[in-house]
Structure 1
Amino acid sequence: MVSLFLGIWAGGIIYTGSIGIAQTFSWIVSSIGESTFNAKVIIFTLLLGAGIALIWRLGGALAIARFATRRVDTHRKVGITAWILGLIWSFDDYANNAIVGSSTKDIADEMRMSREKLAYILDSTAAPVATLGISSWVAFEIGLIAQQYNELGIAQDTPSAAVTFLQSIPYNIYSPLAIAMVGIIVITQRDFGEMLTAENRAQQTGKVTRDDAQPLQSIKDDLGDPLVEDAPVRMFVLPVVALVSVVVGGAVFMGYAPDRTIVEMVNNTNVATALVWGSFAMVATAVILALTHGAMELGEAMDTVIDGFGTMLTALSIIVLAWSLGSVATALGTGAYVTAYAQGTVSPQLLPVLIFLISGFVSLAIGTSWGTMSVMTPIVIPLAWNLGGGSTEFIALLIGAMFSGAIFGDNISPISDTTVLSSTFAGSDLIDHVRTQAYYAGTVLVVATVIYGLYGLTAIPPLVLLPIGLVLLGGLVYVLSEWDSQRKDLAAKPAAVRMSDSDTPSDD
């Protein structure tokens, strides 16, 4: 967050030729107050936080976790369960880490899963899933695209920002591959790199953290304990169904016309408004459940709503500063400068690879995928618009590559909030988590780069190339795990090591 503010301030200094603080806050205020779209994103984000808080307090999150973990009695099953829960809880990466981590940490310890492995599952599921589903991430990403379309004056010549985002999903190669990588690791039970050492340690000695590790403290207590013990699954299901159904139904209602195709319906709807409706429905449903089950009085429910607003303050701060930084890049003509430099020197076929790698480096350096998106979007869209000859497909391609890079850098950055949160809720040492995850994220990076390169050379659709990426991932996991286990003289599948009934894992 500090880096975003300093970036805006630096832009103000360059733009005004003076201290620039007045211009800095002018951009920040404008990003909040001049766009009703931005206001809707802010309201959606606040209501989403309120809905998440209510579900937690009603015991819904733990209810769905208990439902999923009822038959979890092996190392493999606890890994698969954490992975699936991460896929289900796609609405926010912070809540994903908090709920899935808190729900599975104890049973992971019982099954002698290293804290590093649990942190990896949390981290490499939360952000990649959030960038593809109904979440504050998607609202933020659509907002960045819409802002650039308006500032470039091309909004009338392009599909809506929501359509562009949907078109970019097949080109966001890293996210689905990262999710798949987690699945491959937990299902095959094969590890390599630092994770191989950590898992062998946990399985053979019961030490789920290494000696001298400094696990981050859990912040579960800050969320408050659930008020309903043994809550029914509907405490989770009904608010989530309300959110999804109202968002989808509201978007269809606003965009429907008898003569419109699905793409035209999406192009003519108002996704931001639908998100506000859906998040309000989520909160209203949760409040009704709280009152009808006697779990809360109305005043207590409203207090929980306010607490939920508070959980989103960090995310909102980043959103506003990121919007502001986008205005800085536009005012300074950063996109036009990069476009002029790239024209004639960079092949369009290489651009997806370059955008992916540059975004990954920026995200690693500044520790925030949202900040990276806000820095890169004002550069990527003008670049794609000019070099692609006004092709909206080329815009979607480069946006997808940018999102991919931003998620990769976020996964391996030790200063990323998501990295810190996943370490916190898994009870892992932060640096241990970063070191062990880097091998897996780096493997996905290599495969994603290959896919982007193949697309640039052959123009074969990414959805066709994605299965090739999955095969490459599986092959690399097998080869690297075999090679590394032989080199270290350790079990390639450490979870296969059996422990006797009398063995008990160490808590720390």
Structure 2
Amino acid sequence: MALIQKSGGINGFVDFMLHRLRLVSSQKSSLMLSYFIGVVIFIESSITSLIAGAVGRPFCHKYKIPQAKLAFVCDSTSAPISSLLVFNGWGALLLGLISTQINQGQMEGNAVSILIESIFFNFYAMSALVVTFFAVYFNINIGPMRYTKYMPSTKQTIINTKTSMSYMILPITLMIVLVFLFLYLSGDGNILQGSGSSAIFYTVLSTLIFTLIYYVPTKNMTLSIWGNTAYKGAKELFPIAMILLFSFAIGEVTSELKTGEYLASLADENINIYFLSTIIFLVSSLISFSTGTSWGTFSIMIPIAVPMAITMGVDVPLAIGAVISGGIFGDHCSPISDTTIISSMASECEVIEHVQTQLPYAIISALIATSLFVLFSFY
């Protein structure tokens, strides 16, 4: 992603959407463009927010759109889409956490297939995307959003570049194709039986080599710039590597302490199994809201939720889906969340205003998700 950003491919894509297609002619079409940009750029939640904000900001000024609305669109398409299309760091983290549970003997099965099944139960992310779409398309303003106003800014920046968007499109397309190819190869013809970690590793390595033989010969960047950019991009992943390391450590500790089994024994006496996934969703939401991190919530709750689900006879992918949904919901509502802050920054909106205006929509999505968790618990 550091190389793609350095190549100018993202700016070329934004320029193509802004100046060549010319699809925007109103407030609604402006926000819909940012919405679809947020859905298309699913590689990383922060990048999703930044690009959607970069696309929508010029139109905010042109059509006097309240910045809070743009921040709402940026935030509501970042984490949800990244957690649904998991060809990214989100998928790597979840795959690692699920694999850890399998390796520790907590459950059986293939990590990739369990992750894919869990995604279908990521009800909050799905609800948030649907609610945001209807809110933008039908101009539904509820709560504080009814009173938010456009604020003029001196930082009006319209992206205009001659760099081809192929520098972004080709590597991302190749990466998506190669994920399935390596899953197919490592699974001896069965994608669901493939090694997720190996597939991601070889995909990223292959895509990295592709950028070398594509960017340098086309004089997009020199070999030195390519190397320095790749190094800086890798260095930025160090904190994520530490999160993964400590999250696996937390998972090991909670497994050794039998935390999940203990909570399951308490819940088995006091909680109906049909409400377990809903409770997992609510607890995950609380942790995520308090800490401002969905990834940290996944690391804490998956080692607890999986043993609870197995002990009480609840579908494991449903429980994992509840953890993912709760992590995203709490993250959406939290004023200390990185995606909340980045979405506000990218849209030139105050953080507190963004939190207040987005909260009613997030609660509606959460209520829909809660209903679905209860409903699917009966199947």
Is the Cα contact below 8 Å between 1:239 and 1:281 reproduced in 2? Answer: no
* TM-score, length basis structure 2: 0.93
SS in 2 for 1:428: coil
Structure 2 counterpart of 1:275, from 200, 208, 212: 200
> What corresponds to 2:35 in structure 1?
83
Q: Which amino acid aligns with 1:409?
A: G
Matched, 1:238 2:187: no
Report 1:157-168 matches (<5 A).
158-168=108-118
Q: Which amino acid aligns with 2:77?
A: T
Across the aligned residues of Structure 1 and Structure 2, the Cα RMSD in angstroms comes to 2.2
SS of alignment partner, residue 171 of structure 1: coil
Aligned to 1:434: 355
Is 2:95 aligned against 1:142?
Answer: yes
**Matched ranges for 1:298-447 at <5 A:** 298-388=223-313, 394-447=315-368
TM-superposed deviation, 1:109: 2.2
Give 1:229 deviation, angstroms: 3.5
- Name the CA distance, whole Å, in 2 between partners of 1:350 and 1:243: 39
Aligned residues between the structures: 374
Structure 2: how far apart are the matches of 1:60 and 1:406?
Answer: 31
8 Å Cα contact 1:54-1:287 kept in structure 2: no
User: Runs in 1 of length 4+ with deviation above 6 angstroms?
Assistant: none
Local SS of the residue matching 1:295: coil
State the partner residue of 1:191. Answer: 141
Instruction: Please give the alpha-carbon distance, in whole angstroms, between the structure 2 residues aligned to 1:374 and 1:444.
Output: 23
Q: Please, which runs of 5 or more residues in structure 2 have no aligned partner?
A: none
State the secondary structure of the residue aligned to 2:109.
coil
1:335 is aligned with what amino acid?
G
* TM-score, normalising length: structure 1: 0.70
Letter in 1 for 2:205: F
Paired position in structure 2 for 1:256: 188
Contact 1:62 1:103 in 2 (8 A): no
Asked if structure 1 preserves the Cα contact closer than 8 Å seen for 2:122 and 2:321, the reply is yes
Name which of structure 1's ranges 309-318 and 93-102 shifts more when overlaid on structure 2. 309-318
Q: Which of the numbers 38, 44, 50 marks the counterpart of 1:98?
A: 50
Note if 1:119 corresponds to 2:71.
yes
Cα distance in structure 2, aligned partners of 1:120 and 1:310? 30
- Call closer, same or farther: CA 1:334–1:444 in 2, change over 3 Å: same
Residues 331-386 of structure 1 deviation map (CA, whole Å, 9 limit, x = unaligned):
32211210111123211111121111111111111111111111111111001111
Q: Structure 1 365/247 Cα, relative in aligned 2: closer, same or farther at 3 Å?
A: same
- Counterpart of 1:106, as a letter, is P
- Label 1:295 to 1:76 Cα distance change in 2 as closer, same or farther (>3 A): same
Q: Is the 8 A contact 2:106 2:307 kept in 1?
A: no
- What one-letter code is carried by the residue in structure 2 that aligns with 1:113? I
Are 1:142 and 1:161, in contact at CA under 8 Å, matched by a contact in 2?
yes
Letter in 2 for 1:55: I
| 1:195-245 Cα distance to aligned partner (Å, 9 max, x none) | 1111xx22xxxx258xxxxx9x99x9xxxxx9x941112111111111111
Distance 1:405 1:306, change over 3 A: same
Mapped contact 2:301–2:323 kept (Cα < 8 A): yes
Aligned residue type for 2:51: I
CA contact (8 A) 2:251 2:299 kept: yes
3-state secondary structure, aligned to 2:269? coil
Pick closer, same or farther for the CA change 1:317–1:100 going to 2, 3 Å.
farther
User: Matches of 1:282 and 1:189 in 2, distance apart?
Assistant: 40
Q: Displacement, 1:298?
A: 0.2
Q: Give 1:453 deviation, angstroms.
A: 2.2
Cα 1:319–1:119 shift into 2, 3 Å: farther
Question: What secondary structure does 1:73 align onto?
Answer: coil
Whether contact under 8 Å (1:353, 1:453) holds in the other structure is yes
Q: Is the 8 A contact 1:69 1:81 kept in 2?
A: no
Equivalent residue in structure 1 for 2:6, among 37, 44, 57: 57
Name the amino acid aligned to 2:45.
D
% identical equivalent positions: 28
Q: Which residue number corresponds to residue 67 of structure 1?
A: 16
Q: Which amino acid aligns with 1:336?
A: E
1:408 Cα deviation after fit: 0.2
Secondary structure of 2:43's aligned partner: coil
* Residue 470 (structure 1) aligns with: none
- The whole-number CA distance in structure 2 between the counterparts of 1:233 and 1:406 is 33
Q: Deviations over 1:378-434 (max 9, x none)?
A: 11100111111xx7xx00111111111111000001111111111121221111111
